[in-house]
């Protein structure tokens, strides 16, 4: 059995879709559906059981699931704007630590989600070596809740046996339930359809023009390919960046969406909300050498190709899920 926590969420359900495509069916999904629309991500997936996240750890310790072959831990609070620090620490740090300790004790392959938010406001280079990781200073509670586990994993030497992924700006099918936390590509598609133009934040720094803030955008299909390889190669361990390795501007992203929709580019620049100004990242770009050195092959879909695939084959087709088309 392979356990996928957060298995109904964006990246988690995409992982299950990838596993299904490789013939895996004995999958335990752990999640909390509540009133979220993410249940729709489960409809076309093949899995053996579903367990609520509040029951999972106790049942795992009790041996209800035998000895899983692997645990892919994507479950967490992923809202970068979440202000409840206790909630973030319980979900993103404490839960992850208990699960990691169990996997290490039982010699179970453990792959977990860290985040590029751990880098905070630095722009000099996003290096994922352990020495750098121990010096990072996140600029929001979400980033800190991810950073503290990474620090513990490094200090205890766990990174020699487990794999963590610092996801950069992931976009693609299965994110539809994320609402305000969905990618700008998803929001842009609907905004352009409704109004004919796209709103982007103005820059509040003189060294960046409006819409010229840059991020590392990575397609979900590339992410699940990496996770699949990490499951197949238990010797590829450490905390790794997972991005495209190329920083692209919001203006370039907008152009890609307009092009995929066959529409003329129209952008309106708006003021950034006051609460974001002090915690906004103006530049992110993943250094990908460490992951490649671990023997992982990177697909690295270009922004234009990823946006075109997402818009034409999923969004314009009625918000299809990843599992609705051959991977």
Catalytic center residues: 142, 178
Counting other chains too, the contacts that 85-93 makes at CB distance below 8 Å and 24 or more residues apart are 85/141, 85/145, 88/141, 88/142, 88/144, 88/145, 89/145, 89/148, 91/145, 92/142, 92/145, 92/146, 92/149, 93/145, 93/146, 93/148, 93/149
Cα–Cα distance for residue pair 26/79, rounded to 1 Å? 30
Encoding tokens for residue 283?
């530049």
- State the chain's maximal CA–CA distance in angstroms: 59
Hey, is 102 helix, strand or coil?
helix
Cα–Cα distance for residue pair 30/75, rounded to 1 Å? 8
> Which residue's entry shows tokens 């495509």?
21
Cα–Cα distance for residue pair 282/264, rounded to 1 Å? 26
CA distances from 101 to 8, 61, 75, 322 (A): 24, 11, 16, 32
- Write out the E strands in the chain: 2-5, 27-31, 49-52, 70-73, 109-115, 163-167, 169-171, 198-201, 214-219, 238-242, 247-249, 267-270
* 323 DSSP assignment: G
């Amino acid at each position: 059995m392979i356990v996928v926590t957060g298995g109904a969420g964006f990246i988690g359900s995409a992982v299950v879709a990838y596993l299904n495509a490789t013939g895996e069916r004995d999958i335990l999904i752990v999640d909390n559906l509540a009133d979220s629309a993410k249940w729709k991500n489960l409809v076309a997936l093949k899995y053996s059981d579903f367990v609520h996240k509040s029951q999972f750890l106790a049942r795992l310790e009790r041996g209800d699931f035998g000895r899983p072959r692997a645990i892919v831990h994507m479950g967490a609070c992923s809202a970068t704007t979440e202000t409840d620090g206790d909630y973030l620490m319980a979900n993103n740090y404490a839960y992850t630590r208990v699960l990691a300790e169990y996997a290490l004790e039982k010699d179970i392959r453990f792959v977990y989600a860290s985040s590029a938010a751990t880098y905070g406001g630095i722009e000099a280079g996003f290096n994922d070596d352990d020495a750098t990781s121990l010096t990072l200073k996140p600029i929001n509670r979400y980033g800190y809740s991810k950073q503290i586990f990474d620090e513990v994993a490094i200090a205890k030497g766990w990174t020699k046996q487990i794999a963590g992924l610092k996801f950069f700006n992931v976009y693609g099918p299965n994110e539809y339930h994320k609402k305000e936390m969905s990618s700008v590509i998803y929001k842009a598609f609907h905004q352009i359809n409704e109004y004919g133009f796209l709103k982007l934040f103005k820059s509040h720094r003189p060294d960046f023009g409006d819409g010229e803030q840059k991020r590392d955008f990575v397609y979900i299909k590339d992410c699940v390919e990496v996770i699949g390889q990490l499951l197949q190669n238990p010797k590829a361990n450490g905390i790794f960046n997972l991005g495209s390795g190329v920083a692209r501007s919001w203006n370039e992203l907008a152009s890609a969406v307009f092009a995929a929709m066959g529409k003329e580019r129209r952008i309106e620049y708006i003021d950034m909300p006051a609460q974001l100004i002090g915690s906004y990242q103006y530049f992110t770009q993943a250094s990908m050498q460490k992951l490649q050195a671990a023997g992982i092959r990177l697909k690295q879909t270009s922004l234009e190709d990823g946006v075109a695939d997402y818009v034409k084959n999923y969004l314009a087709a009625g918000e299809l899920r990843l599992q609705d088309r051959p991977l």
